[in-house]
Amino acid sequence: MKGINILNMTAGMAAVLLSVTLFSCSSDVPYENTDYSTTDNICFGISDSGNGTRAAAANEAITTDRYVLRSSESSDTLCVRAVVSDGIGKAAAKHATRASMQTTMYDQFNVVAQLKKSDGNIAPRYYMNEVATKQGVVWQPSSSIYYWPDNGSLRFLAWAPLDAELDESPVKPSEDVNKTTIKYTVPADLSKQRDLVAAATGYNASPVGGVCAPVSLQFKHLCTAVVVKTGATMAPGTIKSVTVTNVRNSGTYDMLRSAWTLNDATTSYTVSPNMATGSTTAEGTKLNADDATFMLLPQTLGADSKLEVMFHDNISGRDRLLTASLNGAEWPMGKTVTYRLSITPEYELEFT
């Protein structure tokens, strides 16, 4: 797309351009294991269906909205652009000592199996309540060997990671064979936020002859990854903090419907990189550092939602609080939203 010169004003303070990008891939976790061996006991494989929309974000990005970024100490207005493309971003999968995106399946996940008996009634206890652990190309129940029931069928519900601080699950606070949901409140501490994934199957009948392929689980990313990066031009100064305000932080996810129901309560999340910027700052530098990524709930942001940037301007020697309304912005489930901050001392914003 051709660059469009939006503003050309006299120097005085930094201008900030933010672009919101949803990177290309799929909301389903791309975990592929196709070398399934047959077995007479229950084990699990991870499928990768429904990923036909993968493509490069640069080829599919479209501008969906523009906002105004305004300084609290000036009447000057600055521009914000939202750029959207399909999919979820990729990052190296590491043990989650901080919030990070998973691009390979966790080595362990929680799994329960609901038994529907041949008379159509649901058994009062789960047939399986286990932690499944990766062994080769499949995941096996950790503590016991489970065989298919002679009669009836099994529905499997699975979720990960094990260290996610869930408010409720099918087995928390107690086992509930009819529960197909998880409840979650996003921690304020970035290091405790997790890339939640979950999967559910229909009812699987016992295989003929008792020998079958592993049960195929298609996991979905449940959160929206929010990343902050530098743009093409950075003025001398320091990005002290970036805050997303008044976003809904808790809700209930139904694993059968693959849908969230969010509560009305809101909170704010802040990253404080205290990152020095200047003409040599590389474009695309992640302010959050390393693999740190906000893992927040998918939602349409409300009238009180804002993006706040605290920038120390070396030219004037002052801190500048810049805010932009995010009212109506979409955070889709299983996708990555990237805010890119370009700061120039010339008040010249070029959209490319």
The HSE-up count of residue 59 (CA atoms within 13 Å, CB side) is 6
Which has the closest alpha carbon to 334: 166, 195, 193? 195
Q: What is the pTM of this model?
A: 0.79
Average pLDDT (244-259) is 98
What's the whole-number average pLDDT of the chain?
Answer: 76
DSSP 280-346: TPPTT-BTT-TT--EEE--EE--TT-EEEEEEEETTTTEEEEEEEE-TT-EE-TT-EEEEEEEEETT
Give the residue numbers spanning the domain of 51.
16-345
Does residue 205 sit within a domain? yes
Does residue 296 sit within a domain? yes
pLDDT at 260 over 80: yes
Does residue 7 sit within a domain? no
Question: For residue 90, what are its two tokens?
Answer: 């990729």
Does residue 2 sit within a domain? no
Distance (Å) of CA 173 to CA 160, 178, 252: 17, 14, 15
What span, in angstroms and rounded, lies between the C-alpha atoms of 255 and 181? 6
Does residue 4 sit within a domain? no
Lowest-confidence segment of 40-54, 77-91, 132-146, 263-277 by average pLDDT: 77-91
Average pLDDT (115-124) is 95
pLDDT tens digits, one per residue of 27-79 = 454 333 334 445 567 778 886 533 333 333 333 344 445 544 555 554 443 33
Q: What confidence score (pLDDT) does residue 102 get?
A: 59
Does residue 8 sit within a domain? no
Lowest-confidence segment of 21-25, 61-65, 230-234, 278-282 by average pLDDT: 21-25
Does residue 352 sit within a domain? no
Does residue 88 sit within a domain? yes
What span, in angstroms and rounded, lies between the C-alpha atoms of 279 and 28? 39
- Dihedral, 190, 25, 34, 204 alpha carbons, nearest 10: 80
Q: Are 228 and 271 in contact (CB under 8 A)?
A: yes
What span, in angstroms and rounded, lies between the C-alpha atoms of 341 and 231? 5
Number of domains the chain is built from: 1
